Structure 1
């Protein structure tokens, strides 16, 4: 029998965040969802007895409010991302995800917990895990370097993962983490077969694979709910691909 837990999901109204909320609710879990506009969530989710909707902007919430949001949560999951508009990509806040991760971690630490809180961050296969020696070609390094300088969301993704990797680290008593790295995202209506690897098995720039958003949500839910899956991947940055990619 799966133990009922409470998870806080930020970025819950996004394309993947909505699917993660649904995956968790379908498994009998309790979910707190932070959204700017509740009407972006399907009515079937809004009416669910185990969903608590928090209407707020994560960047505008005070430290006290964040501490209250994470209170009683066994897991925090971030599907935050920048809007793919000129303002979303080049406007403020340029470190939306990194700042949110840092502040949420501080909020977790401000609450005494009996066991470490799981922190699951959705990221990208274009970001390397610098705890490992991952195979990255010279040409890909050049492209990634240009993206880092010219596309703020990419640098934000890198810094957010690095915060968990280097500041929280592997021995924190309050937080355990995993960073999920999908490749090129696709929209599918149902979960399909997929595989997780410690590092990319192909170039995210020159030979990208595909990962459906619903598979990302399914894997993130597995990490939160299934202790065996968590034990396998905690403190790591698994890359996931749809089967056949």
Structure 2
């Protein structure tokens, strides 16, 4: 299996690459600064590094990159600084998801490609009409006004829900929603739910980035797990001890 990972230089994306390599998958990554990647990546024959800014690639280049991929995973996000939050591109996650999916569709492959998006519990799955409190609605409304990355996450998931949908000829998707990301060195037990079991604003849970990466890798490589969650927006929490 060949998997393209975008956002691979980020804290979660890098762990996803490592999880896929541990499972002996072939991995491609698109990164702007390959010199910052671990030396072990540069000498790994199962890993292909493409030096580019994803939104600067032409449509033809994008189609070539995804042409042999069985799955594409996006761990793209905005840097937590002023430029990252308010600078361009404000729709990085959405535009990348749209262009990658359109490249897959344009290739007109005889197989369905998996697309896994890392999203957030702050975004509701509108297919399920998930209920939230009035107070949380108010906070989310402020986030939409004040923090462009929040709208970007919403739009990216909405693109998959409404433009790709549940029965596309060439694509299947899942949007993984972690809550309260933390750093840990080792995998721990985690739990997956169809919808949040707690308020993402007022009672957020925690999940390690390595657990998120493990779940995303498992979705890609485990067809039974994929069959359970495709077309959905599963929520992941690290299991309480």
TM over 0.5: yes
Task: Give me the CA root mean square deviation.
Answer: 0.9
Give the aligned partner of residue 118 of structure 2. Answer: 122
State the TM-score, normalized to the length of structure 1: 0.97
| 8 Å CA contact retained: 1:94, 1:156 | yes
> What's 2:100 paired with?
104
How far did 1:18 drift?
Answer: 0.5
Aligned partner (choices 224, 233, 239) of residue 220 of structure 2? 224
Residue 31 of structure 1, CA deviation: 0.3
Q: How many pairs were matched up?
A: 241
Counterpart of 2:61 (choices 49, 65, 79) is 65
State the secondary structure of the residue aligned to 1:59: helix
CA distance in 2, matches of 1:72, 1:169: 23
Segments of 4+ in structure 1 off by > 2 A?
A: none
Q: How far has the Cα of 1:114 moved from its partner? A: 2.0
1:184 and 2:180 correspond: yes
1:9 and 2:5 are equivalent in the alignment: yes
1:18 is aligned to: 14
| Cross-structure match for 1:86 | 82
Report SS of the residue matched to 2:232: coil
Matched, 1:131 2:127: yes
Give the whole-Å Cα distance in 1 for the aligned partners of 2:66 and 2:135.
Answer: 42
Equivalent pair of 1:20/1:221 in contact (CA under 8 Å): yes
Are 1:10 and 1:34, in contact at CA under 8 Å, matched by a contact in 2? yes
Cα offsets for 1:64-92 (capped at 9, x unmatched): 11111101000000000011110110011
Q: Helix, strand or coil for the counterpart of 2:115?
A: strand
Tell me the CA shift for residue 135 of structure 1: 2.5
User: Residue 156 of structure 1 aligns with which residue?
Assistant: 152
Number of the residue aligned with 2:71: 75
> SS at the partner of 2:173?
strand
* Match among 45, 52, 57 for residue 49 of structure 1: 45
CA contact (8 A) 1:22 1:45 kept: no
Where 2:11 maps in the other structure, the secondary structure is coil
Question: Unmatched 5+ residue regions in structure 1?
Answer: none
- Secondary structure of the residue aligned to 1:21 is helix
Question: TM-score scaled by structure 2?
Answer: 0.98
**Using the alignment, how far apart are the partners of 1:46 and 1:132 within structure 2?**
43
